[in-house]
Amino acid sequence: MPLRPAPRTGGPSALRGAARLPARLRAAWDRPLTAYYVILGAGLLITVLGLVMVYSASQVLALQYGLPSTFYFRKQLLAVAIGAVLLWFAARMGIRFHRALAYPLLLGAVFLMCLVQVPGIGQTVNGNTNWISIGGPFQLQPSEFGKLALALWGADLLARKNDKNLLVQWKHLLVPLVPVAVLLLGLIMLGGDMGTAMILTAVLFGMLWLAGAPTRLFTGVLAGALALAALAIATSPNRMGRLRCIGATDPDHGCWQAVHGIYALASGGWFGSGLGASVEKWGELPEPHTDFIFAVTGEELGLAGTLSVVALFAALGYAGIRVASRTEDPFVRFAAGGVTTWITVQAVINIGAVLGLLPIAGVPLPLFSYGGSAILPTMFAIGLLISFARNEPGARAALAVRGHNNPLTGAVRRTMRRRARRRLSGER
């Protein structure tokens, strides 16, 4: 019996499949539920991986202070649990509720940020007075909620003016958005936290850009902000020292944290030394569980781990841009753009500082670093993006078909379909 020739692999069919791959990827990205699943999946993966790394990076620090090794992890887990409730709540609420929340949230944030400056109430941490003690080991940083407040309130304000066709006038474009933002920035800078002020400024500029600010006006406001930032840096020896640490290689010239962050990344290699096996977290690297958790991630998980984190943030940012660009609701466009700008710019500032490309700004990596005050408003913001993605016309129709709008109904329908298939196949 003659032997059959082995089937050929590759060839023209493989080339045709490779040529069709970009079109298939575009088709998958254009599906109505893509942004919904990307935001939900990327947000949850970043949060879960952050919990793992907080546990790994904080054990040594906790033991140095005579605390249980899981002390910081348990606090972060509690914050994530509360944040998950906020995320679910924000994702289920409609756009009308989020708009109604804008003004109370702004007033509450301003009130708490004023309390920070009251002697005896405000707490100083690492040289910045931006905290309020709420009992025991728990502290609150109101400026973190100021980011969410500016994004929601600014989006509601610009949407109202857009409905009245007022954004074509530069006065209505800037007032009262810029004065209120300057008020928030002033309260933050009174405490010395320039990193948070930079992120708040980025949110402001992101919304102005989406509102269609003229290039001349946008450039003028940007130039003023850069001048004020240069003045704030030049008048502070601490900030000037951080600026000089960009690309530093010698830890003995006030750049200990920056240089040891590079050491941690360099020693990780391609796949890291293993989870929990970081050397730098044993007292050499300051703030290993907060500002420099990305460095510990690079040491323990290697380049593969850090690139995974960067890819998740890139996917999250790209999905947020898609939500903002596809909606016809001006509030959704401004709010999604503001939140996406906040999360992506903060991630870039944190990662850039760890890589030695930017000055150390003292801001956490969103959803990843230790800190309940940072993770609560950020998880609410992720829920906000999920709500916007769910309310796209195509996504709403797809979710209704799949039973996602009513989980109980969806579960009942899926059970009935399984039973029907069993009867047809003769199963008992």
* pLDDT tens readout for residues 51-79: 999 999 999 999 999 999 999 999 999 99
The four Cα atoms 386, 391, 395, 398 give a dihedral, to 10 degrees, of 110
84 CB-near residues (< 8 Å, 6+ apart): 379
**What phi-psi label fits residue 392: left (phi over 0), alpha (psi between -120 and 50 degrees) or beta?**
beta
* Pairing of β 139-140 and β 122-125: unpaired
State yes or no: pLDDT of 2 exceeds 60. no
- Integer Cα distance of 286 and 141 in angstroms: 20
Q: Residues 316, 343: contact at Cβ < 8 Å?
A: yes
395 CB-near residues (< 8 Å, 6+ apart): 32, 33, 35, 36, 389
State yes or no: pLDDT of 142 exceeds 90. yes
> Is 53 exposed, middle or buried, given 0-12, 13-18 or 19+ CB atoms closer than 10 A?
buried
- Integer Cα distance of 234 and 19 in angstroms: 54
* pLDDT tens readout for residues 259-298: 999 999 999 999 999 999 999 999 889 899 999 999 999 9
User: How confident is the model at residue 108, as a pLDDT?
Assistant: 96
Amino acid at 47: T
Task: Return phi, psi of residue 132, to 5°.
Answer: -130, 130
- Integer Cα distance of 386 and 272 in angstroms: 33
The four Cα atoms 87, 93, 98, 100 give a dihedral, to 10 degrees, of -130
Radius of gyration of the CA atoms of the chain, in A: 24
pTM of the model: 0.88
- Integer Cα distance of 411 and 393 in angstroms: 23
User: How confident is the model at residue 420, as a pLDDT?
Assistant: 53
**What phi-psi label fits residue 124: left (phi over 0), alpha (psi between -120 and 50 degrees) or beta?**
beta
Q: Residues 373, 144: contact at Cβ < 8 Å?
A: yes
Six-digit token string for 396: 């709403």
Q: Residues 60, 344: contact at Cβ < 8 Å?
A: no
- Across the range 232-260, mean pLDDT stands at 84
* pLDDT tens readout for residues 168-210: 888 888 899 999 999 999 999 998 889 999 999 999 999 999 9
Partners of residue 129 on adjacent β-strands:
124
Higher pLDDT, 22 or 336: 336
Band (pLDDT 50/70/90 cuts) for residue 219 is: confident
- Integer Cα distance of 403 and 415 in angstroms: 12
Band (pLDDT 50/70/90 cuts) for residue 8 is: low
How does DSSP classify residue 274?
-
Band (pLDDT 50/70/90 cuts) for residue 407 is: very low
Number of H helices, E strands in the chain: 16, 3
Average predicted confidence (pLDDT) for the chain: 87
Secondary structure class of 31 (helix, strand, coil): coil
User: How confident is the model at residue 394, as a pLDDT?
Assistant: 75
State yes or no: pLDDT of 252 exceeds 60. yes
356-361: which pairs have CB atoms within 8 A and are 24 or more residues apart? 356/245, 356/246, 356/247, 356/248, 356/258, 356/261, 356/262, 357/246, 357/247, 358/246, 359/239, 359/242, 359/243, 359/245, 359/246, 360/242, 360/245, 360/257, 360/258, 360/291, 361/194, 361/195, 361/198, 361/242
* pLDDT tens readout for residues 72-124: 999 999 999 999 999 999 999 989 999 999 999 999 999 999 999 888 888 88
245 CB-near residues (< 8 Å, 6+ apart): 254, 255, 258, 259, 356, 359, 360
- Integer Cα distance of 311 and 296 in angstroms: 18
- Integer Cα distance of 344 and 337 in angstroms: 11
User: How confident is the model at residue 422, as a pLDDT?
Assistant: 57
290 CB-near residues (< 8 Å, 6+ apart): 364, 369, 370, 371
The helix-helix angle for 177-190 and 95-116 (nearest 10°) equals 40
Six-digit token string for 99: 């708009």
222 CB-near residues (< 8 Å, 6+ apart): 205
- Integer Cα distance of 51 and 55 in angstroms: 6
User: How confident is the model at residue 179, as a pLDDT?
Assistant: 94
State yes or no: pLDDT of 46 exceeds 80. yes
22 CB-near residues (< 8 Å, 6+ apart): none
Q: Residues 75, 371: contact at Cβ < 8 Å?
A: no
